[in-house]
Amino acid sequence: MAKKLFLKTLGCAMNVRDSEHMIAELNRIERYDLTQDESEADLIIINTCSVREKPVNKLFSEIGQFVKQKKKSAKIGVCGCTASHLGDEIFKRAPEVSFVLGARNVSKITQAVSTDKFLDININYDESKYAFGEFRQNPYKAYINISIGCDKKCAFCIVPHTRGDEISIPHEIILSEAEKAAKEGAKEIFLLGQNVNNYGRRVGGGKRGEMNFSQLLTLISKIDEVKRIRFTSPHPLHMDDEFLETFSSNPKICKSMHMPLQSGSTQILKSMRRGYTKEWFLERAQKLRQMSPDTAISTDIIVGFPGESEEDFEDTMNVMEEVGFEQIFSFKYSARPLTSAAQMTNIVDAKTASSRLKKLQERHAVLLDKMTPRYKERVFEVYFEELRENGMIAGRTSQNFTVCVNGSEDLLGKIKNVKITRPQRLILYGQVV
Ligand code: SAH
Ligand code: F3S
């Protein structure tokens, strides 16, 4: 009989893909069916994120809950970025945990399940050949890793310490993965990496790759069955002209660009070690708007980084206004172990950081209220992916806007033109035309 797996995935798209990979690996040895009910599971896995402190703090109370509810024989495993940086400490603080696997080591899941107190958190493990288990949670969209790890060492970020050095996956593997997924019905290919547009910097074995990101995008776009290509996350520093040109001119590349700003103050950017200035970011964003006026730009912003003055924060607000980001993901700075910013002493107090976050989000809401009505009566191509309640079905435009229409599941997996009748801040409602 099949075993039951309860798998909780936190954090980014890379973690979602790692979870798929673990499911695939487990099923190579014996069948595991997914369950949403931890009390009937034979195996409980938490795939963790450690980018900010809060979810890390919650981990141990969560494990405590699982211990109470689980079947006596069920095993609990902790995987992902928090596993990478806490390692052995997890066994000490939660003795019920039977294995700990770092973000770079999830390929070893079957070994972990069959060995008591299995621990592997080696961030230099070269996983580039193994990162592709055959399991997809979403039949319409295929996540594909193109690189793992990150060489950048931004002062606030723990990721390089949990996912290790950057390695690009050989393009032949990516291409065959994309071809296979597309032939099986995934019209959208979603390329993943911490720094996707630095692709080719180092392939397995340490050499420079033969292909850069723009060339990789072009290659994938030649697969007939692929209708849409997305990627996350690019780094503003690597948005050179060739990349912007390829992005703007290739109709299969979705017109949604993530440009993680982090801060609009050149001074703060410098102490964050982001490698670009405010002016440079603005110039790249303007160039993108010029070359591809239909592109929606999203961003990540951190407020309250050590040393951020009121003036620095105003710079961030101004860049937000000037670029007019269609979407922002904004966070209060959270000091993380192993990072260089954790040593900084010029801390911004929590109250100031909270009030800046609120101001930023309120100003962005005003921006959105100005932008949203423009979409009324506009016709977008929508790829339908998800059934919603009340006879609604949801999909995404090339710009990554969510669109909802009345419709049946026949629409799933199809691309249709939709005229927007009722645009709202987060969802555009419309009708198939
Ligand atoms: N290269 C990755 C970055 C992963 S972290 C990517 O672009 O997806 C995702 C976002 O979390 C970062 O862009 C940053 O805005 C935020 N973040 C990272 N470390 C943080 C910290 N210590 N405190 C607050 N936010 C942080
Ligand atoms: Fe983190 Fe900067 Fe890399 S945000 S993942 S160190 S590009």
Could you report the per-residue pLDDT of 280-339, keeping only the tens digit for each? 999 999 999 999 999 999 999 999 999 999 999 999 999 999 999 999 999 999 999 999
Going by C-alpha positions, the residue among 297, 307, 238, 237 that lies closest to residue 272 is 307
Identify the sign of the CA torsion 338, 340, 343, 347: negative
- Kindly tell me if the per-residue pLDDT of 168 is higher than 70: yes
Tens of pLDDT, residue by residue over 343-400, are 999 999 999 999 999 999 999 999 999 999 999 999 999 999 999 999 999 999 999 9
> What is the location of CATH 2.40.50.140 in the chain?
376-432
- What percentage of residues in the chain have a pLDDT greater than 70? 98
How far is ligand 1, taken at its centre, from the CA of residue 51, in Å? 6
* Residue of the CA atom closest to atom 19 of ligand 1: 157
Which residue ranges have their beta carbon within 6 Å of ligand 2?
150, 152-154, 157, 159-160, 194-195, 235
| The residue count for the chain | 433
Beta bridge partners, 198, equal none
* Residue of the CA atom closest to atom 1 of ligand 2: 157
- Separation CA 152–CA 398 (nearest Å): 29
Position 57 confidence tier, pLDDT thresholds 50, 70, 90? confident
Identify the sign of the CA torsion 252, 255, 259, 265: positive
Quick check: 171 and 211 in contact, CB under 8 A? yes
- Is the distance from the beta carbon of residue 194 to the nearest atom of ligand 1 less than 6 Å? yes
Question: Domain 3-120 adopts which CATH fold?
Answer: Rossmann fold (3.40.50)
**Encoded tokens for 179:** 């071809």
- Is the distance from the beta carbon of residue 323 to the nearest atom of ligand 1 less than 6 Å? no
What predicted TM-score, i.e. pTM, was given to this entire model? 0.96
- Separation CA 182–CA 176 (nearest Å): 10
How far is ligand 2, taken at its centre, from the CA of residue 260, in Å? 10
For ligand 1, mutation pick of 15, 50, 51 (most atoms within 8 Å of CB): 51
Going by C-alpha positions, the residue among 335, 321, 331 that lies closest to residue 357 is 331
Rounded to 10°, the helix 278-291/241-249 angle is: 30
Could you give phi then psi for residue 164, rounded to 5 degrees?
A: 75, -170
pLDDT at 412: 96
pLDDT at 375: 97
Tens of pLDDT, residue by residue over 176-194, are 999 999 999 999 999 999 9
pLDDT at 128: 59
Number of alpha carbons in the 13 Å side-chain half-sphere of residue 22: 32
pLDDT at 127: 66
- Separation CA 202–CA 166 (nearest Å): 7
> What is the location of CATH 3.40.50.12160 in the chain?
3-120
- Kindly tell me if the per-residue pLDDT of 135 is higher than 70: yes
How far is ligand 2, taken at its centre, from the CA of residue 160, in Å? 7
- Is the distance from the beta carbon of residue 165 to the nearest atom of ligand 1 less than 6 Å? no
Beta bridge partners, 228, equal 188
Tell me which CATH code domain 376-432 carries: 2.40.50.140
How far is ligand 1, taken at its centre, from the CA of residue 126, in Å? 23
For ligand 2, mutation pick of 157, 197, 301 (most atoms within 8 Å of CB): 157
Q: Where are the beta strands (DSSP E) in 81-137?
A: 97-102, 118-120
Tens of pLDDT, residue by residue over 207-257, are 788 899 999 999 999 999 999 999 999 999 999 999 999 999 999 999 999
**Encoded tokens for 141:** 């969209």
How far is ligand 1, taken at its centre, from the CA of residue 157, in Å? 6
pLDDT at 201: 86
Q: Where are the beta strands (DSSP E) in 195-333?
A: 228-232, 256-258, 296-303, 327-332
Quick check: 123 and 142 in contact, CB under 8 A? no
First-to-last alpha carbon distance for the chain, in angstroms, is: 48
Helix (H) or strand (E) holding 373: none
- Is the distance from the beta carbon of residue 15 to the nearest atom of ligand 1 less than 6 Å? no
For ligand 1, mutation pick of 331, 344, 347 (most atoms within 8 Å of CB): 331
390 contact partners, CB below 8 Å, separation of at least 6? none
Quick check: 414 and 382 in contact, CB under 8 A? no
